[in-house]
């Protein structure tokens, strides 16, 4: 007796086809959203500029100013500016 097949294509081929369809649907969904809709899903933190970088260099940067410590594999964060003597102080 001949066994009737439920699926016209083998199951081994069905899995990659289904995965490809899922990827295509996800891509269409992603590119149908605008950037504003995507960014609205994430909380926006207030960007605070580093006052030392802003005063000395006049650049608005959120990262602290760091310098490489000579002859060591370490960095120092510049935290204070002595305007009278012209020193930047860090730890």
In a domain, 86, yes or no: yes
In a domain, 69, yes or no: yes
Q: How far apart are CA 22 and CA 30, in angstroms?
A: 12
Most confident of 23-27, 67-71, 82-86: 23-27
Q: What residue numbers bound the domain in which 70 lies? A: 51-90
Q: What's the structural domain count of the chain? A: 1
Most confident of 19-23, 64-68, 82-86: 19-23
Instruction: Determine which helix (DSSP H) or strand (DSSP E) holds 34, and give its type and residue range.
Output: none
Q: How far apart are CA 63 and CA 67, in angstroms?
A: 12
In a domain, 73, yes or no: yes
Q: SS3 for 6?
A: coil
In a domain, 17, yes or no: no
pLDDT the model gives residue 1 = 53
Residue 66 has pLDDT above 70, yes or no: yes
Q: Which of 69, 48, 67, 45 has the alpha carbon at shortest distance from 79? A: 67
In a domain, 6, yes or no: no
Task: Output b/e per residue, 36-75; b: 16+ Cβ within 10 A.
Answer: eeeeeeeeeeeeeebebbeeeeeeeeeeebeeeeeeeeee
In a domain, 19, yes or no: no
In a domain, 35, yes or no: no
In a domain, 58, yes or no: yes
């Amino acid at each position: 007796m001949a066994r009737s097949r439920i699926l016209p294509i083998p199951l081994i081929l069905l899995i990659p086809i289904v995965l490809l369809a899922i990827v295509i649907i996800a891509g269409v969904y992603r590119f149908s959203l605008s950037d504003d809709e995507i960014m609205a899903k994430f909380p926006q933190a207030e960007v605070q500029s580093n006052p030392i970088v802003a005063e000395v260099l006049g650049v608005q940067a959120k990262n602290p100013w760091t310098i490489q410590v000579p002859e060591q594999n370490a960095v120092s964060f510049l935290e204070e500016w002595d305007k009278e003597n012209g020193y930047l102080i860090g730890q």
